[in-house]
Amino acid sequence: MRWVPLLLLGLGVVLASWVVLMVLAMRLPPGLAKDLATFLPACATALRRLRKDPRVPRSAKIAVAIAAVWVISPIDLIPEFLPVIGPLDDVVVVALALRFASRRVPREAIEEAWPGERRLLDRLLGPAASPPTDQKPHSGDRVA
C-alpha cells in the first residue's frame, strides 16, 4: 500500500499540469495554435452532450465513444509529450468521429451541443446550408 500516496501524487501532478496548460491555452493569441488548443475541450463537451441527446443514432454514439476512448488511452501514434504535434493524433481522430457523426445527426443538435467558436464548427462540418428563400410576392406587389 506504499504505492497509493505515490499514485495520488502522480495524479495530482497530472491534473495540475492540465490546469496550467488550459490557462496557458486561454492566453494564446488568436490563430491556429489557439484553435488547436481549444478544439479538444470543445469537442469533449460536445461529445458528452451528444451522448445524451435522443436525436443521435447509435452508430454515431459508438463513433463518439471510440473517439473518447482514443483520447483517454495512454497509447498514441504520436506521444503526447511532444510539443505542438503531441495531441495531433487525438485531434484527427476526434475530427473524423465528429464528421462521421455529423452526417447522421441533425445539424441543430450538433450546434446546440457545441460550446466553442462557431467558425471552428463550420470549418469542421462545412458552413450551414442557408434556408431556401421564399419568392412569394408581397401583398402590395402586382403580379404580371
For 67, other C-beta atoms within 10 Å of its C-beta total 22
pLDDT digits (tens, 9 = 90+) for 55-106: 989 999 898 788 888 888 877 777 777 777 777 778 888 888 878 888 898 8
For 14, 47, 82, the CA distances from 50, given in Å and listed in that order, are 27, 5, 30
pLDDT score for 131: 56
Name the pLDDT band for 130 (thresholds 50, 70, 90).
Answer: low
pTM exceeds 0.85: no
Retrieve residue 128's grid coordinates. Answer: 450551414
Retrieve residue 68's grid coordinates. Answer: 473518447
Average per-residue pLDDT in the chain?
79
